[in-house]
Amino acid sequence: AVPGPEISLAELPLRPELVGEEPYGAPQLDVPVALNTNENPYSPSVLVRAQMAAAIERVARTLNRYPDREALELRADLAKYLGFGLHARNIWVANGSNEVMTHVLSAFGGPGRTVLTFTPTYSMYPEYARNTHTNYVTVPRKPDFTLDSELVLQAVAEHHPDVILITTPNNPTGTLTPVKVVEEILERTDALVVVDEAYQEFTEFPEDSALALLPRFGRLIVSRTMSKAFALAGGRVGYLAAAPAVVDACRIVRLPYHLSAQTQAIARVALANKSELLAQVDELRQACQDLQDWLRRTGLDVVPSQANFCLFGRFVDRHAVWQALLDEGVLVRETGPEGFLRVSAGTPEEMAAFRAALGPIIIHQG
Ligand code: PMP
């Protein structure tokens, strides 16, 4: 038994809006084939690992000191990686884009403010809104899960959001929103527009990014992560690019020394090895297209995806299919519209295991 007085959550003076809430998270099950959280299946190479270890040894010498609160070297590296003439002062970095987004909503959302998203979309957004006391409003995407400026601007006229959140490619649908659409929205609203490009590197044309609009729009924020393309989900590094004033707003709300010295060092090693790490992105892009082709050939519905995952269905009982796959050691995600499941692109071996497990299930499901 755990020492101390026995007290339940119901007896604690929890904030009323948190009563009944569960901690967020996809099941972290120990399975041979994990295709459920859109991770990069390739672990860092021996060479990259050695460089990370050496970098950690170097920072360990000064771990008695606080880290660089401004993470300036890392922000300069990220600016260089993104290109588009960006400077370290255009970049903000935190523990995953989860934390970046919380900084954005802490600074620009809050009581009396509204954030607007387009569903189905990333399931963490309502939690960022709740934690920052921001009103969360959603509007459905078009039937094919795309967005156009008409739909967005109509929603803006109706809900008067302070922050508009556009995810491209969108999670869980993989759907792209063209830069042109983002531009049309920015031209017709005073709201802050956050474009979540967590999966941008996996798209067919990664350089077609909302980053190109930054010189013209001071209220645009482009969010990125090192969790996916850079295979650094465990390192927890997300970042945004925006006008320096937006970065200054994030600096006001962040906790002091929020990004550890180890995190900064590891991220810099990953960026220094970008050609090696991004080479695997090309493989995964192809793996995801092959995966979609195969799913379609089996007769399933597949939502065309530009990310490293896709939605497939429709199943009368998607939970039964999810469970049947799990019984074969393959973990996918039960998320998205009714009847669909989401699967991430993996290694050739993982994709073969997925196909081998799903084939007989489809026949069985009829
Ligand atoms: N945005 C989107 C659309 C995502 O799918 C994810 C991860 N699943 C994130 C942000 C968060 O990524 P991280 O916090 O690891 O940077």
How far apart (Å, rounded) are the C-alpha atoms in residues 268 and 286?
Answer: 27
The torsion region of residue 258 among left (phi > 0), alpha (psi -120 to 50) and beta comes to alpha
Instruction: Enumerate the domain spans of the chain.
Output: 26-43+276-365, 46-273
Contact 259, 251 (CB under 8 A): no
For residue 109, how many C-alpha atoms fall within 13 Å in the half-sphere facing its CB?
A: 27
pLDDT in tens, the chain (366 residues): 788 888 989 899 999 888 988 888 777 889 999 999 999 999 999 999 999 999 999 999 999 999 999 999 999 999 999 999 999 999 999 999 999 999 999 999 999 999 999 999 999 999 999 999 999 999 999 999 999 999 999 999 999 999 999 999 999 999 999 999 999 999 999 999 999 999 999 999 999 999 999 999 999 999 999 999 999 999 999 999 999 999 999 999 999 999 999 999 999 999 999 999 888 999 999 999 999 999 999 999 999 999 999 999 999 999 999 999 999 999 999 999 999 999 999 999 999 999 999 999 887 664
Q: Which atom of ligand 1 is nearest to the CA of 98?
A: 14
Å from CA of 98 to ligand 1 middle: 6
Q: Which ligand 1 atom lies nearest to the CA of residue 122?
A: 3
pLDDT (0 to 100) of residue 23: 86
Tell me, what's the pLDDT at 362?
84
Shortest-distance atom of ligand 1 to CA 167 = 3
Q: Ligand 1 centroid to 198 CA: how many Å?
A: 6
- Report which protein residue has its CA nearest ligand 1's atom 6: 198
Between the CA of 354 and the centroid of ligand 1 the distance, in Å, is 23
DSSP string, 257-324: T-S-HHHHHHHHHHHHTHHHHHHHHHHHHHHHHHHHHHHHHTT-EE---SSSEEEEE--TTHHHHHHH
Q: Find the 348 Cα to ligand 1 centroid distance in Å.
A: 24
Q: Which residue of 39, 225, 259, 335 sits with most ligand 1 atoms within 8 Å of its CB, as the best mutation to test the pocket?
A: 225
pTM, 2 dp: 0.96
d(CA 142, CA 170): 13
Check if the beta carbon of residue 350 is closer than 8 Å to that of residue 288. no
CA distance linking residue 355 with residue 293, whole number of Å: 12
Q: Is 115 helix (H, G, I), strand (E, B) or coil?
A: strand
Q: What is the CATH number of domain 46-273?
A: 3.40.640.10
Which residues approach ligand 1 with their CB closer than 6 A?
38, 96-98, 122, 167, 171, 196, 198, 225, 227, 233, 238
Count of CB atoms situated within 10 Å of the CB of 166:
21
| ipTM for this model | 0.99
Structure tokens at 290: 């092959």
CATH of domain 26-43+276-365: 3.90.1150.10
| 28, 124, 228, 310: residue to mutate for ligand 1 pocket, most atoms within 8 A of CB | 124
Instruction: Kindly tell me the sign of the dihedral angle through the C-alpha atoms of 324, 330, 331, 333.
Output: negative
Are the CB atoms for 207 and 84 separated by under 8 Å?
no
**Predicted local confidence at residue 365, as pLDDT:** 64
Give the SS3 label for residue 98: helix
Q: What is the pLDDT of residues 121-142, one digit of tens each?
A: 999 999 999 999 999 999 999 9
Please name the helix (run of DSSP H) or strand (run of DSSP E) that holds residue 21, with its range, or none: none
pLDDT of 78: 98
